[in-house]
Amino acid sequence: MKKRSWIPMAVFLTCFPLGAQAGQNTDAVHNQASDARKASRKATNIPGRAGSDGKTFTADKNSRIWMVSNPEALTGIDGRHVKVKAHVDTARNQIRIVSVSAIAEQRVGIKLDDAAFRR
């Protein structure tokens, strides 16, 4: 009679830790997914060059090419060096541009207004 009462108890004790681990693993995956969603909600500043068609953006830092989800934000600045404030979605390799600001191009060559040329 005592052996019958131990069998359900043994089954319960062997299955209980596995169920607890499975629950913890799904919570960890859920937390990681929510962290990724939170990171994409915050807009980040990315300097780079707008594509000639306005649908792509190449970052200066790592030369990563991003697809622009709202290409109308880049109309009129095709191919220029700009800094965008955008929401980044790394899973889809896509950005949604919030604002665009132009970066002044560096002059190359002799600068006649430099102190060396002043009299």
Q: Are 73 and 100 in contact (CB under 8 A)?
A: yes
* Predicted pLDDT of residue 17: 61
For residues 6 and 9, what is the distance between their CA atoms, to the nearest angstrom?
5
SS (H, E, C) 43-91: CEEEEEEECCCCCEEEECCCCCEEEECCHHHHCCCCCCEEEEEEEEECC
pLDDT at 38: 45
Show pLDDT as tens, one digit a residue, over the chain (119 residues): 555 667 777 777 776 665 445 545 555 445 555 445 544 578 999 999 999 888 999 999 999 999 999 999 998 888 899 999 999 998 899 999 999 998 877 766 777 777 777 66
pTM for the full model? 0.56
> What are the residues facing 87 on neighbouring strands?
96
